[in-house]
Amino acid sequence: MEEKRIILLEALAEIDDEIAEKYLEGTEITVDEIKACIRKAVISNKFIPVLMGSAVKNKGVQPLIDAVCDYLPDPTEKNRTAFQKVGEEEQQLSLIPDPKLPFVAYAFKLDENKHGQLTWLRIYQGELKKGQLVHNCNVDTKSKVPKLVRMNAGDLEEIESIKAGDICAMFGVECASGETFTDGSIKCQLTSMHVPDAVISLSVATKSSQHSQQFMKALKRFSREDPTFRVMKDPETQETLIAGMGELHLEIYVERMRREYDVAVVLGKPRVNFRETITKVVNFDYTLKKQTGGAGQFAKIVGRLEPIEPEEELNKEFVNSVMGNSIPPNYIPAIEKGFDDMLAKGPVIGHPVDRVRMIVLDGAYHAVDSSEYSFRQATHQAFTEAFQRADATLLEPIMALEVVVPLEFQTSIIGTINKRRGNITNAIIDGSMVTIEAEVPLALMFGYTTDLRSSSEGKGEFSMEYKEHKNVPRDRLQALVDEAKKKTQAEAKRNSNI
């Protein structure tokens, strides 16, 4: 104990001058002084307390609860910022834990209960009362709160109101995790409006058709709980696809379906979410001209496609630079919709298009034959034709990989990372262990768990998180294009046989 106490005091002395002075002078440092120093260091993000215990065996639970009170900031000591959308930009809004200010709360957890969905709320500002009308800022809907409860483990205590700085739960309001509620007088969100795109998807289906209802219920619940978990239908194969931030992310939800809903599923092959983009500026000048018995179709658009550099932090941009009235203003939204249509499925291998700017400079219309449909179709053709001339390439998701293994296995683990086109960025040695940091393409990381275990005698562990999308190397690009062509041809053959 004395040894650990000295380590604690030395750690505090590095971040607090008063403790350092007393420690060097050999003056006794009281428990209250230590607690006050830890609290100040925790609030300034310089110190992380670690406590040991077991909730199952009720060991160390009370010290943990005491530590929450002793060291963590109360609502008045923590700056909380919400985001208001003004035009296309986000503006910050400071929240003050005052019950007299407009109500703002955050839904941070969902539970299923015999009474329906139970939504856990943290009240950041204002006061929430039973029967009050609340506004969901994420989906712009209003709901009445029929029931409010205070949670105490599994026990529910019905309450009439709850104030800023407290946590409660409400019944009877359909919402998703991560959504913000207000009283309607202000509109803001407590998390940024940006939710990262999924980097991996795979098809799922129930082994038995009698479980279909439970299967869809589980998917609906999971997508509400987690905004990075997506559920969609493949328009070509009609398969149900789930998408998320990595292989482990999706494996957890598949296991939860089995455990919580008793639904066994069949999984398809994982599909990495590539992005298609261009690498050079190209001009386009396209005229759509079709004449039938009645009114025809006419639309002409002139402009250019150009790549958006990663540092611009934009996924797409439509720019209207038409001078005069060569294209009437009421047709410009149709051109933009046509541009958005083409971003959903690119012409290279059918993945979404990213980092492309479309600038419309000129065009022409016909008083009778032109329509919104004509300009939308003209945009489709102009985009496809220009995209193919713009040295199209693919962007693949790059993951930040962290591997922790005993030092003796460092060389072999670096070999497994290099084999997957990984780029080692750092290696930190701590005693007998080494932490290897690298950037690796997600497409080459499937099955890495088995590789790591065999290379480290089961003593290694790793974690990954999405970092960015980067250009696919040219040799790999051609292999992906050929693979996509074979798949398209196989599907066409299968459809023709049907």
What confidence tens digit (pLDDT) does each residue in 50-108 have? Answer: 999 998 999 999 999 999 999 998 888 888 888 887 766 778 888 999 999 999 999 98
> What pLDDT was estimated at residue 283?
95
**What domains lie within the chain, and their CATH numbers?**
2-71 (no CATH), 80-182 (2.40.30.10), 200-273 (3.30.70.870), 277-391 (3.30.230.10), 395-474 (3.30.70.240)
Q: CA-based angle 346:349:353, to the nearest 5?
A: 30
What mean pLDDT is predicted for residues 133-138?
91
> What pLDDT was estimated at residue 160?
93
pLDDT value at 498 more than 60: no
CA-wise closest residue to 181 among 169, 193, 172, 189? 189
What confidence tens digit (pLDDT) does each residue in 440-465 have? Answer: 998 888 888 888 888 898 888 888 88
Strand pairing class (104-113; 180-182): antiparallel
> What pLDDT was estimated at residue 401?
92
What confidence tens digit (pLDDT) does each residue in 5-50 have? Answer: 999 999 999 888 888 998 888 888 899 999 999 999 998 888 899 9
Mean pLDDT, the chain, whole residue set: 88
Helix (H, G, I), strand (E, B) or coil at 59: strand
The residue among 280 and 272 whose pLDDT is bigger is 280
Q: What span, in angstroms and rounded, lies between the C-alpha atoms of 168 and 155?
A: 12
pLDDT band, very low/low/confident/very high, at 494 (cuts 50, 70, 90): low
> Considering the chain, what percentage of its residues have pLDDT values greater than 90?
44
Q: What span, in angstroms and rounded, lies between the C-alpha atoms of 102 and 185?
A: 7
What confidence tens digit (pLDDT) does each residue in 368-410 have? Answer: 888 999 999 999 999 999 998 998 899 999 999 999 999 999 9
What confidence tens digit (pLDDT) does each residue in 141-164 have? Answer: 999 999 999 988 778 899 999 999
> What pLDDT was estimated at residue 153?
74
What mean pLDDT is predicted for residues 121-133?
93
**Who contacts 436 (Cβ-Cβ below 8 Å, separation ≥6)?**
401, 402, 403, 404, 405, 410, 413, 414, 417, 424, 426, 427
Residue pair 123/183 in contact by the 8 Å Cβ criterion: no
Query: Can you spell out the DSSP letters for 62-127?
Result: HHHHHHHHHHSPPGGGS-EEEEEEETTEEEEEEE---TTSPPEEEEEEEEEETTEEEEEEEEEESE
